[in-house]
């Protein structure tokens, strides 16, 4: 018998009860796969040493950057390169899959009331 279990990022994101509070779903080497439920805007910030992948599971996300914005619909993704200042904005509730290095701080070089520690991000998902 295998104990291997499929993971549904969409279900995990939908089960989240708190906005802007990413949770770690899986590790791939030194990268974390996270899900988050977001609405409104996070904060302008940058990750000087780490790229960050955003994949929209549900809804729409606008990633504002100084050179312009990218609009992501369901199933679309974008990688914000290291060092690029960005601000994720969702006019309506949006569910995301994120890929970040273990070392990445989700609000990068700024701390806001939305900043969550890695311990908070590693808490079990609702329903687990």
Binding residues for a copy of itself, rule: CB under 8 A, are: 1-10, 26-29, 31, 33, 50-53, 55, 57, 63, 65, 67-73, 75-79, 82, 99, 101
CB of 56 to a copy of itself, least distance (A): 9
Comparing CA positions, the residue from 109, 89, 101 lying closest to residue 45 is 109
Judged by beta carbon, residue 28 or residue 92, the one nearer a copy of itself is 28
Question: How far does Cα 109 stand from its chain's mean position?
Answer: 16
Q: How far is the C-alpha of 109 from the C-alpha of 37, rounded, in Å?
A: 21
CB of 51 to a copy of itself, least distance (A): 5
CB of 113 to a copy of itself, least distance (A): 27
Q: How far is the C-alpha of 69 from the C-alpha of 110, rounded, in Å?
A: 20
């Amino acid at each position: 018998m295998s104990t291997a279990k499929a993971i549904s990022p969409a279900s995990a994101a939908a089960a989240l009860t708190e906005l802007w509070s990413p949770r770690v779903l899986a590790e791939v080497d030194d990268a974390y796969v996270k899900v988050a439920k977001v609405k409104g805007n996070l904060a302008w910030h940058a990750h000087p040493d780490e790229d960050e992948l955003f994949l929209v599971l549900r809804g729409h996300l606008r990633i504002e950057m100084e050179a312009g914005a990218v609009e992501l619909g369901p199933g679309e993704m974008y990688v914000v390169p290291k060092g690029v200042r960005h601000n994720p904005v969702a006019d309506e509730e949006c569910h995301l899959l994120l890929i970040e290095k273990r070392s990445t701080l989700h609000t990068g070089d700024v701390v806001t009331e939305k900043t969550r520690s890695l311990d908070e991000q590693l808490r079990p998902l609702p329903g687990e």
